[in-house]
Structure 1
Amino acid sequence: MKGGRVVPAWQQRLLQVCLVAVVGAVFLALAMAPFVLPRNMETADTTAMRNELFELHLGIDALDRALSDWQGARASGGTPDESLGLQFDERTQLLAHRIGVVLACPGGMAVLPENAQTLNRGRDRISAYAALLSKAGTDIVATRDRVAELLGPDLLEIDRYLTNAFRRLGQITSNDRWQLTRVIVFAQRLASFLLAVGVLTLIVLWMQHRVLRRAETSLNTVMGDLAEAQRIAHIGNVHRDYESDTVSWSPEFARIYGLDPDGHMTGAEFEALLLPVDAEKVLESERKAFARSAETRAPVRRDLNFRAVRGNGEVIELAVQSELTANADGTPHSMMSTVRDITVEAQARRALRESERSLAAAQRIAHLGSFRHNYNTGRTTWSSELYLVLGCDPAEGPRPLRQIVHREDFEGI
């Protein structure tokens, strides 16, 4: 309720939607994060690959210097120092090994140009050169000259390939950074959205809390006024749910019946409160009302007076107004009743009727009649015995005074 009226359903629905949106967005972000981030960062470790390629480039430079030193010494016409030859052999073997390390990097084939075919060919040839140098024996100088002659074009080809590889890794790194930036921007926007929705939800919750507090206060006031009005009028209400077989009631109904204000009972226990002589009349009226409700597909009103037994065994008389609703198949669904204790009124009416009967008997015995005339309304009523005394027909009703009084006595009367 809001100010004495029911809170619109769309406001309650809006609150539920906001809560579901916040919870759903949070869980969606948490659920998608492990998949979105790896998908944007699933390329090879470009930093490690770049380091390996740089090391390979250094190996190429070292072998190129050893190659130049060897060829320079041979060009001078003398016999090169053995240390130059050993350095040349070692640099050749190290370069073959370094190429193998690059090719063994996880995901390397996916990021290197041409799927690293150039490196594979270079590794095979340089490994073959290293094998020749290790098996040269006494013909080592000629073998080194031959290897030096073949090695120059291979080093140039591998060096050009490394240039392309560095360029490709730069593009991959740039793309990774762009993807990461997109993820960061998405995460920031998602966080902003969640923050905005969270703030909106808090505002809605605060407003709804205020509405509910006011509604609760208003409802408590209305319920208190209703309970007070029922107490003053001695009217209680009771609700029976046939599907759950439960009966609940208001505090005034509990006072009328002498029941626990916060209690409840089954339908059979409720019917047991009826006075046995009136029970069939009450149950028959319910059956007829439910039958009409099933036919009309609408609640049916029933007004009935009957007697019941209070918790202390006292018999009370009640005036009941009920609204009964049946299911489509005719089975009872619910009954809502207002109950008024008319025990004192019924006793007073019975006493009045008994007094009227006693007066009529006394007049009949004494052969006396009586009449009443209301000067405001001009209405006159006769007792039954007066008709007999005057010899008038009761069906004709009371006669005017002029017709029954002798004209000589009328003026005096």
Structure 2
Amino acid sequence: MGNLSQLNLLLLNSNSFSGSIPASLGNCKSLEMLNLNHNKLTGTIPKEVFSISSLTYGLSFEENQLTGNIPPEVGSLINTEQIWLSGNKLSEEIPYSLGKCQVLQIFHISRNFFEGSIPTSLSALRGLQELDLSQNNLSGKIPKFLGDFPDLHGLNLSFNNFEGEVPRKGVFKNKSEISVLGNDKLCGGDPVLHLPICAFAGPKKNHKSPKLAVIISVFSGFLCLFLLFLFIASRRWIRQRSRMKPIENYTIKEHHISISYAELVKATNGFSEENLIGYGNYGSVYRGTLDDHENDAKVIAVKVFNLKQLGTLKSFVAECDAFRHIRHRNLIKVLTACSSVDFKGNDFKALVFEFKRNGSLESWLHPEGNEPLGVKTLKLMHRRSMWHLHWSISITMARFLLFIVI
């Protein structure tokens, strides 16, 4: 395909193409539009694709399974009007070189895993009309220069971690053209956004008398002594508390797959009752099928925590911490965790396990009704007696408890 040097349009959207995007597409120097939307493409986006300066209409890779980052070569798209990358698994920061794409009108990267702040270089994109950065992990303050773009009529910054005061100029005045939902640390802005008022610490004049200075000095000395005593007395407690990381760190993503709320909804058919396999005080467990475009589909068990129940959040943190540190052959393998928000903006937390078909410990110890004993026989057992079943389970549990204690 890289030999098609005179090709102008390549529209392969809404198919079932899999595999990676070939780097040879970078040889199509006459290409004006590249559309690979709604396929099953995986891997990273080749930097050669971002070097096609003839892409005037733009490129679109939405709704695939692409990973990695947006390479700095994106700055070579100096003639491109549109870039669509939503609905993938792209990560890292928005490249600073994007500011070189000065004719860019539409930039959509929602539903990915981008982090960091909005780069200041984007202030050069004066012709921007639509900017969708929603449902990522972006942080920092919302740049004021976004309110200076004269043609910007669609700005979606929802469900990120932005903080501080929302600008008041330009697009920020029109509620129908902007969304900042799901950013709990934002304040101020135009009243139509209904955000809390920012608490500013105004400038204070210094009119301290010598007597007041002495009082403050003495009080500060006593305060320092008190804090030092408190630190020494509670050192052990602080050391224990320091081991507890924020919930965001319990996404178990260092060595596990990243998974979004939308993928879990799809895997469990919307958490339907037909996929419900168990429930308890802190949540419910659903059976699901996770699409894997590189291998066969993976059957999973999803434990969804009921955050309305008192103590559920603490249980989620405890289970994440346990599965990060404990490894044992009798523990079901945890695949990943999901700490996100649902489609209504509510907090959502879940653990994803390998699916085991042999049922729970309770179902083996206490069969329902008059179920024949021969029906429930573990593969590792040579006898089909209930006594031997209980004995095997007891030995396994004893070894596991010994493992935890030691």
Q: Is TM more than 0.5 here?
A: no
Normalising by structure 2, we get a TM-score of: 0.23
Say which structure, 1 or 2, has more relative contact order (CA 8 Å, 6+ apart). 1
Q: Compare the two structures and name the one with the higher helix fraction.
A: 1
Q: Compare the two structures and name the one with the higher strand fraction.
A: 2
Normalising by structure 1, we get a TM-score of: 0.23
